[in-house]
A and B are shown apart, each in its own frame.
Chain A
Amino acid sequence: MRTRSADAGLVVTTAEGAGAPGQPASALALVGVSAGYGRIPIVHDVSIEIRRGQIVALVGSNGSGKSTLMKSVIGLLPALSGTILLAGLDVTAAQPEARVARGLGYVPQVNDVFNRLDVRENLEMGAYRMRRGQVAGRIDEILEAFPTLKPLIRRNARQLSGGQRKLVAIARVLMTSPSMLLLDEPTAGLAPQLAEEILTTQVAVLAELGCGVLLVEQRVAEAFRVADHAYVLVNGHIYLGGRPAEVIETPGFDRLMLGLDLAVPAPGPSAAPGPGQESAG
């Protein structure tokens, strides 16, 4: 049943209208998604929408379920309930391969490069779905955008520093020019300067090119500076959602970031209007 790929999926028009005039198209929409390991959900009833060109930050304490959510979006974990729409197409039951073929890109938090492959081969794997003739040219383009990788191109990924690895991982995911990108803590363990550069340069440029970005971050301040919209995940539930400036000002935000429930959940966060609507409003 799960082998049916996105090709068999239904084209669904979201409530907001996938291509409503004046608004960029929906890149990714999660509708009431629960996900977890085995049959035990870790993330409950999450609804988020990301439009093309938008950066949405997802923050929360350790163990709040951010990575679990990301894995279920890429398809490495099954969604236990709910619907995942990729550019309006239902991919809830699709394999990760099929989602990638539909323009989804994913940079995991850890194990983000192929250790046994060199940098060039890592980039080639990012272009696995691309026509063979185009790969070499695309690698040259990518290396222009990431000049620091040029001298490392034949270096084994295992021998790279943490920052270099992360750059390789981001460069690899960009090989196919994804329309929707999942970045799971791209700056974890990096020097502040490099982290700043990745967020404000790489990620922001991506969004300008029309890519939707779902960004999981520990560095809340930096993430909120580039994000158009932010959500706070606590114990697998979305507690807050809104413009970054509003979210960070919300009373109790610090408590939520420590993973502590507020006595009363914020009013209907997961039913809150999508970011697209707000940005339009």
Chain B
Amino acid sequence: MSTLLSGVGFGLLTAALLALAAVGFTVQFGITNLFNLAYAQFMLVAAYVGYTLTNAGVDVWVALPIAALAVGALSVAVNRFVYMPFVSRGRALFSMVLVTVSVGLAVEYLIEVFAGAGAQQILMNPGSTWSAGGLVLTTSQIIIVVIAAIAMALFHLLLRHTRLGKAMRATSSDVSLARACGIPAARVRDVAWFISGVMCGAAGVVLGINVSFDPTTGSSYLVPIAAAAVLGGIGRPHGAMLGALVVGVGSEVFAAITTPSYKDVIAFGVLLVVMLVRPQGILPGSLRTDVVEP
């Protein structure tokens, strides 16, 4: 019972990380209609920036927003100067997969060149320990969960109640119609990539706090991120939040009652089942064309 509860505790932490990561991933798909398979490597860039800053004596809660903003800027730059030129050049959606994987690979190994292949971890004072029942979390872990929850709430408000957020949803729904309505789609796209990049970066720093990482860690995080995003219906931010909760808590609880190393297996199982049974995700009302070749 207590292993189960501690699994839930760590599951919440993982869900916080996954929520930030999966929402960013799904927003990028929604707005640009491509899977950014370099996403996990961008996360890792943030982890290394956060690591470098904290090593230089910067407080981790200061390093987190700095790293997040840096990755936000990186995401906009890569989208605008690499992905979009390829798209406008008319490469089929297919080759975009190769483009994003190329970028991810280049980033992964550039990190290795600059930071070495060794494992690192962002070290910090975890603060005092809080427990309720068998659920145990440190202060810093609670802060992480709260930050993710606030980020999700803010993003929800942005999408539902601001002109920019509605324009993002409109562009994601139909970019031609958005432009025909006078929405500056290119600018909206840049903003969406920046916001999603910031979430990606925040997730990366959280990753660096949670676990030790090396340049290849990023790619392994693509498994639960993709699972969470696909579970919620790819391109749908609210779905990704729900997906992150399910995959995060589910995989940690599974890991707690079996072997820790198998938590990705449950994520992949989720991905596979959703893909086979309901490729449009678990939420009602998604259009199947979101996922299947129109």
Q: Chain A residues in contact with chain B, CB under 8 A?
A: 38, 74-76, 95-97, 100-101, 106, 108, 111-117, 121, 124-126, 128-129, 132, 156, 158, 172, 176
Contacts and interface: CB of A to CB of B under 8 A. Distances in A.
Interface of B: 90, 163, 166-167, 169-170, 172-174, 176-185, 285, 287
Nearest to A100: B182
Contact of A111 (B177, B179, B182): B177
A111 B174 contact: yes
Interface of B is mostly: helix
Contacts of A124: 163, 166
Contacts of B172: 116
A38 B89 CA distance: 11
Given A76-B176, A114-B174, A115-B173, A97 B163 contact: no
A51 to B, nearest CB: 23
Contacts of B182: 96-97, 100-101, 128-129, 176
Given A97-B184, A115-B173, A125 B167 contact: yes
A114 B170 contact: yes
B290 to A, nearest CB: 10
A117 B169 contact: yes
A124 B166 CA distance: 9
Contacts of B183: 97, 125, 128
A114 B177 contact: yes
A125 B285 contact: no
B223 to A, nearest CB: 27
B173 A114 contact: yes
B97 to A, nearest CB: 23
Interface centre among A106, A116, A129 (most CB of B within 10 A): A116
A35 to B, nearest CB: 15
Contacts of B178: 114, 125
A97 B171 CA distance: 13
B233 to A, nearest CB: 11
Nearest to A105: B180
A126 B174 CA distance: 13
A183 to B, nearest CB: 12
A108 B177 contact: yes
Contacts of A76: 176, 179-180
